Chains A and B, each alone.
Chain A
Amino acid sequence: MSDETRVEREGVATEREGLLATWAELRERESVVVAGTALAVLLFPYLFARAPVVSDALQGYQSLAELILIWGIFVIGYDLLHGYTGLLSFGHAAFWGGGAYAAGVFAANVSGSPLAMLVVGTVFAALLAWVLGFLSLRRGGIYFAILTLAFAQMLYYMALQPLASITGGDNGLGIGRRTIDPLLGFIPLEAGVPVITELVSTWMYMLIGGAMVFTVAVAYRVLNSPYGMVFRAIRENEQRAEFVGLNVWRYKLMAFVISGAIAGLAGALFAIHNARVPVESLFWTTSGEVVIMSVIGGVGSLFGAPLGAAVYLYIANVIPGIREVMLFTQIDKLFPGPQAVVLPEWANPAPYWHLILGVLFVAIVVFFPRGGVWGGIKDLRRTVAERLRGDR
């Protein structure tokens, strides 16, 4: 290879690197992150539920898209604690269910304004997190996991029987669509959004999507502030953080409260979306679900969180219904014949979806404990970037 060509190649490489660097810098900027999230939130339900080809292949539907965003918010809140501060809570059902019940009881007794319900659910969950965090954070590691699990179970049993007059006990709390007022007093949640109806469908989705963008903005701000840096420091080495002179206990409690508040926001959204609160929302299985979603999505990654929720809910809701494997409609035009292949009875996936999730979960814990789906995407991106840069 002559010197000239080498110089030329290096020149191209630096130019490319410059572009990549600019892109990398842009990607980190808060406004870009929030705008990107907003764009993704706007496009997601269309791509998932209504776009030609894609949605046929995915078999998605609008209310599942809404559910994915709600749980996505919950997982982001959870991951702030588990992924970034390193505290494995097994009791986040308490805040999800607590926020949902608070919002529901508020709607039934005071006001059905959706925004007020969200505020009440979030504030209630934050206060609850303060109390439970104060108790559970007295011990670390596995004891923290067991204590959070125990307190959440205590709340479940309280909602189930002694407080049944408020919570509706075993039947759950019925709120009813009519109890929930229109948004800001004049926009019914069921009404389509003008102009972009095809894209996002109803105002319900706009409310949920708005909450998602808000959550991402808050979480991104917290995590990239010095405050969030301390969270990560605690995760990496709690003792050292203590020795540097940080009040570790206070930071952990604060992480717990923020995490609980976001979980409460998601719970309140869930209450609005379903117009009822099932008592299972306080049960330990709910805590287990959020743990699974967070691990599948990728522990300690803000954008992995909603992905984990999406994968989980997709497997839980779509797989059981698949008896027919849909083929792309376009194929039909090229090759006339049946459009769908019906699975034989023994291959019917319906009874096994939970098992599939369990195996997926264990595989990720064993092989990619901190990676998950988002980790896989990042690896892919790094490979592509390296290819572009030209150094193999």
Chain B
Amino acid sequence: MTLPVVPLQVAGDLVRLVINGITTGSIYILLAVGLSIILGTLKFVNFAHGALYIVGAYLGLIIAQQPRFGGKLPEWLQDLGLIDGATVGLGWGYLAALVVVPVVVFVVGLLMERFVAQPFYDRPDTDQILLTFGLALILQELFRVLFGGQSQSIAQPPWAEGSALGLPLVGDVLRFFGVSGVSTWRLVIILITAVLVGIVYLLIEYTDFGLTVRAGTVDAEMVELLGIRLSRPYLVVFGIGAALAGVAGLVGGPLVNFNPDYGGNILVPAFLTVVVGGVGSIRGAVLGGLLFGLVQAGLIQFGFAAWSEVGIYAMAAIVLLVRPEGLLGDEVVA
């Protein structure tokens, strides 16, 4: 019996579209989950979240490779006698970056919570927005001074190069659907995102720590009256959110070129993902990210590449008109 060929090709294209969509969505998801839990539990608006993406990206670049930069960092390091040539970086490889970046950005998140967010918890939302916006501006300019303004990208690690069709098992599955040409790197991104978001989800939903955090989301005052200190869980939540953003930068680095300004550009879709999914809901952030990724990949696949950026904003507008609280949000926040 011969299998019908045409439907198989369609199926292959569809699978590829879904994989491309999920990859794009993964970056949004990593950013949005962090934004969403920080916004949901701490009620803190972080416009500097995009800057954390940039921190992750540049840090990853320096740890994984030995790139050339145009900024002042090479000059300064040369003046100090720390490096000889024009290249800056450790060159430990991508896996090392994957371990170090989340840890460092987690610490950056802790510092941000202590010294930036905490003094502003009692100030109005608008002040929080202005403060974090200013902070994002400062970070962006610091990176421009250090690394220069030109676009950078992280090289794909050698073990993830090439087509996924060559992989054992996974390649067979893809070939079964008639998929032609999906890079291994995209699958790696999806895997990293799934694992990290899964861990955070389990942490929030099934541990005592998560219980405290969720209780604090519902009624912080009551939790504190019961004698449970919330300041430490809040600190950790902020750190986790920051670490996810840092990983987003590391993972997105090989996919999209970045420069110091890119943090602001990626922040807008990330925020929309949160708003569309529903604030404070991890599942919502994942759903929103997937929708955005698929819409974007779909528009590109079907010949509307020019509209691919516009598409997600239009979709966000529609969702908000129909369901202002977001797809999986359960409360109408004024």
Residue numbers of A with Cβ under 8 A of B are: 82, 86, 88, 90, 135, 138-143, 145-147, 149-151, 153-154, 157-158, 160-162, 164, 284-285, 288, 291-292, 295, 351-352, 354-355, 357-359, 361-362, 365-366, 369
Contacts and interface: CB of A to CB of B under 8 A. Distances in A.
Interface stretch (B7-15, B167-175, B231-239, B302-310): B302-310
A168 B72 CA distance: 35
Interface stretch (B89-97, B153-161, B312-320): B312-320
B321 interface: yes
B136 to A, nearest CB: 9
Label chain A's interface by main secondary structure: helix
A150 B141 contact: no
22 contacts: A82-B126, A86-B126, A139-B324, A141-B125, A142-B129, A145-B126, A146-B271, A146-B275, A149-B268, A154-B310, A157-B309, A161-B310, A162-B310, A284-B264, A284-B268, A291-B130, A352-B141, A358-B138, A358-B141, A362-B135, A365-B134, A369-B123
Contacts of A147: 275, 320
Contacts of A157: 309-310, 313
Given A354-B144, A362-B137, A369-B130, 8 more contacts: A141-B125, A142-B45, A150-B271, A150-B316, A161-B309, A288-B137, A292-B137, A351-B144
Contacts of A351: 72, 144-145
Contacts of B321: 135, 138
A88 B126 contact: yes
7 smallest beta-carbon distances between A and B, as pairs = A154-B313, A157-B309, A362-B134, A161-B306, A358-B137, A358-B138, A355-B141
B142 interface: yes
B72 A361 contact: no
Given A157-B309, A157-B313, A146 B125 contact: no
Contact of B138 (A138, A140, A154, A362): A362
Of the candidates A158, A288, A295, A358, the one having the most CB atoms from chain B within 10 angstroms of its own CB is A358
B134 A142 contact: no
Given A149-B268, A291-B133, A143 B333 contact: yes
B230 to A, nearest CB: 21
B317 A151 contact: yes
Given A158-B310, A358-B138, A135 B125 contact: no
A379 B334 CA distance: 35
Given A150-B313, A157-B310, A352-B145, A88 B129 contact: yes
A140 B320 CA distance: 13
Contacts of A352: 141, 145
A151 B271 CA distance: 12
A82 B261 CA distance: 25
A361 B333 contact: no
Interface in B92-143: 123, 125-131, 133-135, 137-138, 140-142
What interface size band does chain B fall in? 35 or more
Q: Interface SS of chain B: helix, strand, loop or mixed?
A: helix
Contacts of A292: 134, 137
Contacts of B123: 369
B272 interface: yes
Contact of B131 (A86, A158, A362): A362
A145 B140 CA distance: 21
B268 A150 contact: yes
A151 B313 contact: yes
Contact of A135 (B133, B310, B320, B334): B320
B310 A145 contact: no
Contacts of A162: 306-307, 310
B321 to A, nearest CB: 7
B334 to A, nearest CB: 5
A59 B134 CA distance: 27
Nearest to B305: A161
Nearest to B148: A351
Interface in B34-93: 39, 45, 72
Contacts of B333: 139, 141, 143
A153 B275 contact: no
Which of A147, A150, A157, A361 has most B Cβ within 10 Å?
Answer: A150
Nearest to B271: A146
Contacts of B309: 157, 160-161
Given A150-B271, A161-B306, A161-B307, A357 B137 contact: yes
A241 to B, nearest CB: 14
Contact of A138 (B127, B145, B271, B324): B324
Contacts of A141: 125-126, 333-334
A139 B176 CA distance: 47
A354 B268 CA distance: 21
Given A143-B333, A150-B268, A354 B137 contact: yes
Contacts of B39: 142
A172 B264 CA distance: 21
B80 to A, nearest CB: 14
A154 B310 CA distance: 5
Nearest to A146: B271
Contacts of A158: 310
Nearest to A363: B134
Interface string B254-276: 00000001001100100110010
Given A135-B321, A142-B45, A162-B310, A150 B272 contact: yes
